[in-house]
Structures are given as structure tokens and as C-alpha cells.
């Protein structure tokens, strides 16, 4: 294999593993949008909050990792339920802009209070998986990326099964499709709304663990949430598979941009390329690759 090709392949592989980690976070966004039509601008802050909780839980002596993860999952589920009850439910039926603003407000609250309560220094979150890079063909990836990618794939399989086969998943799809008809069929719509937010909480909890382990936990961790938007726009807002594909595309594009363009413009294209891609997508096909096209009726 030529050196050129090897470079390309290693970029693609490392981009893909990062991309899968993006799609893990994007999954939380898609779950909420799919079920409740609410846009969660605070997804990155959810991840940051989860990361903070894990770090604090692990800072106690002799706290096993698995218990800490159980704590954060439970905490984020509770947070999701509470959030739906306090903030989102009063806004039911209000214009979409109101919900967007409310989640922006929520993001501000979490980002503001996080450092006040937990301190603003960067905290390391170390998982017992070693630092030895894992060699995968031409690429050598840090183990945390591989772990993140594996977690993401597991979640995708689990949620795909959930929506396709389980009773609750089918009910949730019904709610997403048409709230009034779902209610007429005896589905407790509000309960499923709360459930969707709780599921977003679970995904964010795991996202917080893997992203926190990779980047360290502080306010900056919430910036990961900004990458959610290119992912979900590319993949389609209400498609779980779309989040996966969108994440892969964004991760790979980022990695290629960083590899090929950075030397010419002096760095930072990584944070730039996904948004350009997203704007193009919005112009051409706003509902994304797998998203449902919405037809507006008057």
C-alpha cells in the first residue's frame, strides 16, 4: 500500500471512530426530536453534566467505576424526567421557537451552574482501559475512541431493536407520528414524552463518560454539543440510522479536513468543515439523508 493511501485510510478510520462518538450524542438529540418534536439545544450540556457527575462520583474513595456509571445513568434519567415535567410540559403546543429558546436557557443554566457547583478546573476522568494505542490496519487509535465507538454501536443496535420490536418503542413511534391519534389509541402521550427525555438522559450519561474520558471534564466539554447539529442535519433529524451515518460523515470529513487542509490555512478547519457541509445540506435537502420530508398543510 502506498504511503498516500495509508495516510488517507488512517484519517478515515480515526475520523470514523470519532464520528461514532458524535453519533452517540446525536442519538440523544434524535430520540427527543423523534418522540416529542422538541429541539434540544442543551444536548452538549447534558453530556457535560453527566461527565461532572461521574467525576464527582469517582472522586469518592473506593468507588467502583460500574457503580459510578450506574449513579450517573440514574441521575440523568431523573434529570430527564424532571426536565420534561418542569420545563417542556408547560410549553406543549407553543411555537417551535419557544422550545428552542427554553432549551437554550437550560443550556445556559447548566453551563453557568456547573462550574459554580463543581469548580471550573479541568478534571481528568480515567477509565481502566490503558493508554496503549490500538492498531487497526494503518491507523492507531487511542483505546478511548475505540471504546466510544463500540458504546455507540451497542446503543444503536439496542435502540433500533427498541423502536422496531418492543411495545414501548412502537408506542413511542406512534406518539411521534401523530400525538392525537396515539392518545385516542390509549397511549399515555405525556408518559412517553418523559420517557424520551429520560432516554436522552441515558445516552448523554454514557456520552459524558466516554467524551469526558477523552477530553477531560469542564465547561468546554459542552462544546461537543455543537457538533450534534451537523450530524443530525446530515442524517435527518428523526432518523436513528441517520444519526449513525451523519456522525460517520461528520467525523470523517473533520478528520480529512484536518489532515489535508490544516497545513494550508494554519489549523482549525476541523471546527469549520462540518458546518459548511451542514449549510450545503440545508440548502439542498434540509430534512437530511434519512429524515422524513415534512409537508406543510395550511
Partner 1 sequence: MFHRESGVFKTTYAADMALYPLPIAKWTMIALAVLFVLVIPLVVHEYYLSILNLIFIAIVGALGLNVLVGYTGQISIGHGAFMSVGAYTAANLAVRFDLPFWITLPAGGLMAALIGAVVGVPSLRIKGLYLAIATLAGQLIIEWTINHVPAISGGAQASIQVDRPSLFGFTFDTQGRLYFFLLFFAVLAIIATLNLVRSRIGRAFVAVRDQDIAAEIIGINIFHYKLLAFAISSFYAGVCGVLYTYYFGIANYEQFQLIVSIDYLAMIIIGGLGSVLGSIFGAVFVTLLPIAIRIFMEDVGSLFLSQGELANVISGLRLAVFGGLIIFFLIVEPEGLNRLWRNIRSYFRVWPFSY
Residues lying near partner 1 in the complex (CB under 8 A)? 39, 41, 87, 90-91, 94-98, 100-102, 104-116, 120, 226, 229-230, 233, 237, 265-266, 268, 271-272, 275-276, 278-279, 282-283, 286, 296, 298
| Least distance CB 56 / partner 1 (angstroms) | 16
For residue 25, which of 233, 227, 180, 281 has the smallest C-alpha distance?
A: 227
CA-based nearest residue to 285, from 217, 216, 239, 219: 239
Residue 164: CB minimum distance to partner 1, A = 26
Helix axes of 43-58 and 189-215: crossing angle, nearest 10 degrees: 60
* CB 239 to partner 1: min, Å: 15
- Report the residue number, 99 or 198, with the smaller CB distance to partner 1: 99
Give the nearer residue to partner 1 in terms of CB position, either 69 or 231: 231
Query: Which residue, 27 or 141, has its beta carbon nearer to partner 1?
Result: 27
CB of 149 to partner 1, least distance (A): 25
User: Which is nearer to partner 1, 237 or 253 (by Cβ)?
Assistant: 237
Least Å distance, CB 268 to partner 1, is 6
| Contact between residue 125 and residue 209 where contact means Cβ atoms under 8 Å apart | yes
C-alpha closest to that of 249 among 8, 15, 26: 15
The Cβ-side half-sphere exposure at 224, using a 13 Å CA radius, reads 37
Q: Tell me which residue of 240, 249, 245 sits closest to 274, measured CA to CA.
A: 249
Amino acid at each position: 500500500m502506498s504511503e498516500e493511501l495509508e495516510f488517507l485510510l488512517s484519517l478515515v478510520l480515526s475520523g470514523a471512530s470519532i464520528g461514532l462518538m458524535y453519533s452517540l450524542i446525536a442519538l440523544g438529540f434524535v430520540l427527543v426530536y423523534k418522540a416529542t418534536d422538541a429541539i434540544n439545544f442543551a444536548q452538549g450540556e447534558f453530556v457535560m453534566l453527566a461527565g461532572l457527575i461521574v467525576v464527582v462520583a469517582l472522586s469518592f474513595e473506593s468507588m467502583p467505576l460500574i457503580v459510578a456509571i450506574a449513579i450517573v445513568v440514574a441521575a440523568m434519567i431523573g434529570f430527564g424526567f424532571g426536565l420534561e415535567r418542569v420545563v417542556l410540559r408547560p410549553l406543549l403546543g407553543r411555537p417551535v421557537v419557544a422550545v428552542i429558546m427554553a432549551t437554550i436557557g437550560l443550556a445556559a443554566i447548566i453551563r453557568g451552574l456547573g462550574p459554580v457547583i463543581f469548580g471550573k478546573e479541568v478534571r481528568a476522568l480515567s477509565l481502566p482501559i490503558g493508554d496503549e494505542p490500538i492498531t487497526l490496519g494503518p491507523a492507531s487509535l487511542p483505546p478511548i475512541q475505540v471504546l466510544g465507538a463500540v458504546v455507540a454501536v451497542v446503543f444503536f443496535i439496542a435502540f433500533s431493536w427498541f423502536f422496531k420490536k418492543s411495545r414501548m418503542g412502537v408506542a413511542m413511534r406512534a406518539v411521534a407520528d401523530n400525538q392525537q391519534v396515539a392518545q385516542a389509541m390509549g397511549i399515555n402521550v405525556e408518559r412517553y414524552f418523559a420517557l424520551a427525555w429520560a432516554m436522552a438522559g441515558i445516552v448523554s450519561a454514557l456520552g459524558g463518560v466516554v467524551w469526558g474520558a477523552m477530553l477531560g471534564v469542564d465547561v468546554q466539554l459542552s462544546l461537543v454539543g455543537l457538533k450534534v447539529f451537523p450530524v443530525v442535519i446530515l442524517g435527518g433529524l428523526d432518523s436513528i440510522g441517520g444519526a449513525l451515518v451523519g456522525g460517520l460523515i461528520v467525523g470523517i470529513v473533520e478528520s480529512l479536513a484536518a489532515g489535508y487542509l490544516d497545513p494550508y490555512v494554519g489549523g482549525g478547519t476541523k471546527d469549520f468543515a462540518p458546518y459548511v457541509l451542514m449549510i450545503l445540506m440545508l440548502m439542498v435537502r434540509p430534512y437530511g439523508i434519512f429524515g422524513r420530508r415534512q409537508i406543510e398543510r395550511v
